[in-house]
Amino acid sequence: MKLHTKDQAGEGEREPKGQPVAKWEPSVVGYLKFLVDSKLVYDTLERIVEKAAFPEYAEFRNTGLERSETLAKDLEWFKQQGHTIPEPSSPGITYALYLEELSEKDPQAFICHFYTRYFGQSAGGRMVGTKGLVAKSPSLSCLLYFE
């Protein structure tokens, strides 16, 4: 932990330089934006492996990792609770378009993004959800994205 400060990790050894970054507070509105962008990205990833511009992509079909359906159900739950579902944001749209382009031009790079999104998100997304938003709003523990 030599590279971390004490406010980043309890065992941190470095002294902070300047003011610490403001503490992040999760919100339902912010989480909805995250879910909408995530759904767009997962829809894109799943569509890419379904059409399989490269035969290797077919190996990533029906793995049990698919997230689009559960994200759609979670967004529907929020809608039923009276929340307005936003449109995808510019960064979400840009990343989805980038994945499309990458999938056609650089299969190795695309597979790296695929791997990072599915495995990083399945671990990190659960942590953010359960430690952040669900801890603040226990009624959200029913969301499928955390499973």
Check residue 79 and give its pLDDT.
Answer: 95
Residue 22 included in any domain = no
Residue 12 included in any domain = no
Pick the most confident of 9-13, 98-102, 131-135. Answer: 98-102
Residue 11 included in any domain = no
Report the distance separating Cα 22 and Cα 26, nearest Å.
12
Contact 110, 52 (CB under 8 A): no
Tens-place pLDDT, residues 24-78: 677 888 889 989 999 999 999 999 999 988 888 988 898 888 889 999 999 999 9
Arithmetic mean of pLDDT, 123-131? 64
Is the pLDDT reported for residue 138 higher than 70?
A: no
| Residue 20: band (very low, low, confident or very high) from pLDDT cuts 50, 70, 90 | low
Give the count of domains, the chain: 1
The secondary structure of the chain as a DSSP string is -TTSBTTT-TT--BPP-SSPPPPP---HHHHHHHHHHHHHHHHHHHHHHHH-SSGGGGGGSS-S---HHHHHHHHHHHHHTTPPPPPPPHHHHHHHHHHHHHHHH-HHHHHHHHHIIIIIHHHHHHHIIIIIIHHH-GGGGG-GGG-
Residue 122 included in any domain = yes
Residue 99 included in any domain = yes
> How many CB atoms are located within 10 Å of the residue 79 CB?
12
Cα–Cα distances in Å, from 7 out to 36, 47, 128? 31, 41, 18
Residue 92 included in any domain = yes
Report the distance separating Cα 118 and Cα 108, nearest Å.
16
Q: pTM (2 decimals)?
A: 0.77
Residue 13 included in any domain = no
> What are the backbone dihedrals phi and psi of residue 51, each rounded to the nearest 5 degrees, phi first?
-80, -20
Q: Which domain holds residue 121?
A: 28-146
Residue 77 included in any domain = yes
